[in-house]
Copies of this chain bind each other. A is one copy, B any other.
Amino acid sequence: MWLAAARADQLDRPGAFVRRDVAGASVLIVRANDGSIRAHHNVCRHRGTQLCTEASGVFRGSIQCPYHAWTYGLDGHLMAATLMDEVDGFDRSEYPLRSVACETWDGHIFINLSDAPSPLSAQLGDLPERFATWQMQDLRLAHRIEYDIATNWKLVVQNYNECLHCPVIHPLLNQMHHYLGAENVPTADFYCGGAMGFKSGVETLSTDGKRRRAFLPGLSGRNRELVNYFAIYPNFLLTLHPDYMMTITIWPVDCARTKLVAEWHFHADEIAKKDFVFEDAVEFWDRTNQEDWAISEQSYRGISSRGYQPGPYSERERQLWEFDQFILKQIS
């Protein structure tokens, strides 16, 4: 399946890269000289050395292995291999970096480790059309927080998919939304989600409910009065506010540990303003996220223990049942 991996604006020049480690693979996502975005396995074709140990950075025109200096273009082709040209039958064109499928939707870069992936569009379904007015590709990263928590990724998704816990767990969030106020869309094959309106006097999700930035340019009417929450399986939580976007990508480490990358994105015009602030949005969600991670860890400890047996869902947990069906379908 396609995994949300990075944002195109973070690769802002040729050579710019991020590294993503997932499912036993290490992948370099790189802006090539022709402006395209490419993904390569982070492994030299000579002796298998990991090419790059940095989490992100900028390659200066090529990618060189630190062991014997095999050198690759940003597009992955092998440019030079020490002493190999004298080896009979050696052909550099046979040893490019192994590529990883990579596609972009509205600024979101996805990778796919399968050898013959379906196109990203098949997984996204109607999402590009649904969120076109948000113009997500014009948004820019302002802040990132990484979390490392003791739970499995499915409990993170389940926690995101219902707000029945909001009155118990989230005192601040519960001041902003009515916890039963979600208007969910019919669950699709690869996502589920819906929108929640604000309580009276609330303008966006920030520490005090005030909105300190202009509406996103494409939004009008009802779209300025709600937050969209979409879980795009398997690893992408997309939260769209009237004035900003929060993304969370989910990176399982093992069955009991998960890394989460939360990012806050704003319109470039807003960021350029002298009085631009983002701390109100970051602090609101960091607090709320940490409440969710703590209960997801506690939930993991419970379902891992010998006394657990599955219990019943309420009507307000339909999306969890649907996620269970999705998981069952994937593993059957």
Contacts and interface: CB of A to CB of B under 8 A. Distances in A.
A256 interface: no
A315 B83 contact: yes
Interface string A293-320: 0010011011111111111101110000
A281 to B, nearest CB: 26
A168 B298 CA distance: 46
Interface in A80-100: 82-84, 86-87, 90, 95, 98, 100
A68 B301 contact: no
A90 B312 contact: yes
A164 interface: yes
Contacts of A184: none
Given A24-B305, A83-B314, A299 B47 contact: yes
Interface size class of A (residues with CB under 8 A): 35 or more
A43 interface: yes
A48 B296 CA distance: 11
A143 interface: no
A28 to B, nearest CB: 10
Give the residue among A25, A44, A307 with the most B Cβ atoms within 10 A.
A307
Give the residue among A50, A51, A98, A113 with the most B Cβ atoms within 10 A.
A50
A111 to B, nearest CB: 12
A84 B312 contact: yes
B164 A83 contact: yes
Give the residue among A95, A295, A306, A315 with the most B Cβ atoms within 10 A.
A306
Interface in A112-134: 113
A314 B87 contact: yes
Contact of A295 (B66, B165, B308): B66
Given A46-B312, A83-B314, A307 B26 contact: yes
A332 interface: no
6 contacts: A46-B311, A47-B302, A67-B168, A83-B164, A87-B312, A113-B306
